[in-house]
A = this chain, B = another copy of it.
Amino acid sequence: MTKYAIGVDFGTESGRAVLVDVADGSIVATEVYQYANGVIDEKLPGTGIRLEPDWALQDPNDYLETFKRTIPAVMQTSGVDPADVIGIGIDFTACTVLPTKADGTPLCFLPEWRDHPHAWVKLWKHHAAQPEANKLNAIARERGEDWLDRYGGKISSEWFFPKVWQTLDEAPEVYAAADRFIEAADWVIWQLTGVETRNNCTAGYKGIWSKEHGFPPKAFLKALDPRLENVVDEKMSRDIKFLGEKAGGLTEEAAAWTGLKPGTAVAVANVDAHVSVPAATVTEAGRMVIIMGTSNCHMVLGKEEHVVPGMCGYVEDGIIPGFFGYEAGQSCVGDHFAWFIENCVPAAYVQAAAARGISIHELLEEKAAAQNVGEHGLLALDWWNGNRSVLVDVDLTGLLIGQTLATKPEDIYRALIEATAYGTRMIVETFAANGVPVDEIVATGGLPDRNKLLMQIYADVTGREVKIAAATQTPALGSAMFGAVAAGKAAGGYNTIQEASAAMARLRDEKYAPIPANTAAYDKLYAEYVILHDYFGRGANDVMKRLKTMRAEVRKG
């Protein structure tokens, strides 16, 4: 009897459910729900209340609607019997966090708090907690907090404590009214199961928690603000569940929303990037998964604990049980190309692409692919949106060097692709040099589908074979895999995520091997990249920061 699992992937603009055959991971049905309130960054829904520029909120009702609309839809499309759906898993953007009452009701659902921005969900890309992040980092450095090393030396303003602290700073009344601050990932599991759980992945990567050391000490939290001293015990939980565990069974109410059976196994929540790793066939050390989209997220497993400079973080059991899960990132990848298309492509190219019925990306890729390595004479630093790994510096900016009067748009386009590949090589080599080897790359996300040239360049630049995850919806597949693990083998699922991955995840036949002549040429260009990277990124010439400061001052007037 065929068994199925459901994975629900909560993205930035929409939620997506997939119904998956547990035997081989094939996706039987898919449904997407576009969030009614999307990203809330101008004004609060149903009010005239304007948000500050760096704000980004969401409406938790959109998460519930995702369940209510997508799961019944995939059930109906597929005609699968609810009794054959053995488990559900979810993944979420992170750190996406909200304040709730003790029973899980979001503060923003309550009339008395609905008009208060701090009562809503703070989305991962809410950047208004930068002042708190800056203070937190300064205090942590001053106190010599050793957990800083686990996060490349810097806590992001996107993460849990800066966001909670911002609420306390700016809206102590909201902070006081909140019985809980919880990741939206864990909140939706709470809604499905009626049980409050906290997953070790968001706790580890976004909440400064580790299996060995727990949360930061109270003395540190008190040093931030005396009112935060007991925030963990008052508003959070020290009871952390691990990826691969079952959070609970579907409640009657959630069964009614979804059309599934009450008691269906629900997995502990996960993060979109991290859940993609086993869905990309990786459950062992040495094979890096890169999720390539507007930005790049690099995930690699290691048997041992190592501090790698400039990574985003590492968490024991944070991706796959039994491994340290290492994460690094490039803040700007596809965004470079989108910027270029938007701002730098001449009308003649747009017309030429239209005349041939191809996209401008395709036209540029075709022209750029006709070049040999080094032929355009350009080099770029991929810092249009700062640098996460390995420099951890949001104030760095872009650079393009080597232009002549013969430089063409496709030259710059190719140079930007190459720059992001050099950035990835810097990360790969930094991992390798610090005890976390990377022998192979598995790519997933939106870019590998769209740009073969980019894949070949990544292989040539890193000198590593680049393979591609077969699933087009890797996070949702990964969530379904964890759903099958939550159900367990006895119910027709799997006992471990390794077993689930072996059965349900696949690579494409298509793969990209480094071309030795290209790799040799790129070795030379990468050496030039490293010189510029270090000169502009490590303090020899802070011109980027001075220009950015001047720009900010001029704009303030």
Interface residues of A (CB under 8 A from B): 332, 335, 339, 342-347, 350-351, 372-379, 384-385, 397-405, 407-409, 521, 524-525, 528, 531-532, 535-536, 541, 543-544, 546-548, 550-551, 553-555
A339: chain B residues within 8 A (beta carbon): 405, 407
Cα–Cα, bound, A379→B343 (Å): 18
Q: Are A397 and B384 neighbours in the complex by a CB distance under 8 Å?
A: no
Since A374-B550, A377-B550, A400-B401 are in contact, a sample of 14 more A-B pairs with Cβ atoms closer than 8 Å, ordered by chain A residue number, is: A339-B407, A345-B347, A346-B347, A347-B351, A373-B554, A377-B551, A400-B403, A401-B536, A401-B547, A402-B548, A402-B551, A528-B543, A528-B546, A531-B541
**Residue from A346, A351, A373 whose CB has the most chain B CB atoms within 10 Å:** A346
A–B pairs, 21, beta carbons within 8 Å:
A335-B405, A344-B346, A344-B409, A345-B347, A346-B346, A374-B550, A375-B551, A379-B543, A384-B407, A398-B400, A399-B401, A399-B402, A399-B403, A400-B400, A400-B401, A401-B536, A401-B544, A402-B547, A525-B550, A528-B546, A535-B535
Task: List B contacts of A342 (CB < 8 A).
Answer: 346
The distance from the CB of A377 to the nearest CB of chain B, in whole angstroms, is 4
| Contact assessment for A398 and B409 in the assembled complex, using a CB-CB cutoff below 8 Å | no
Which residues of B lie under 8 Å from residue A525 when comparing CB positions? 547, 550
CA distance A373 to B550 in the complex (A): 9
A189 to B155, CA, bound (A): 76
B399 with A384: CB separation less than 8 A: no
Interchain nearest-CB distance for A511 vs B (Å): 26
Find out whether the CB atom of A531 lies under 8 angstroms from the CB atom of B543: yes
**Distance in angstroms between the alpha carbons of A113 and B498 in the assembled complex:** 83
Which residues of B sit under 8 angstroms from A403, Cβ to Cβ? 384, 397-400
Min C-beta distance of A423 to chain B, whole Å:
15
Find chain B residues with CB under 8 A from A554 CB. Answer: 372-375, 521
**A377–B546 Cα gap in the complex (Å)?**
9
B343 touches A343 (CB 8 A): no
Nearest Cβ in chain B — how far from A91, in angstroms? 26
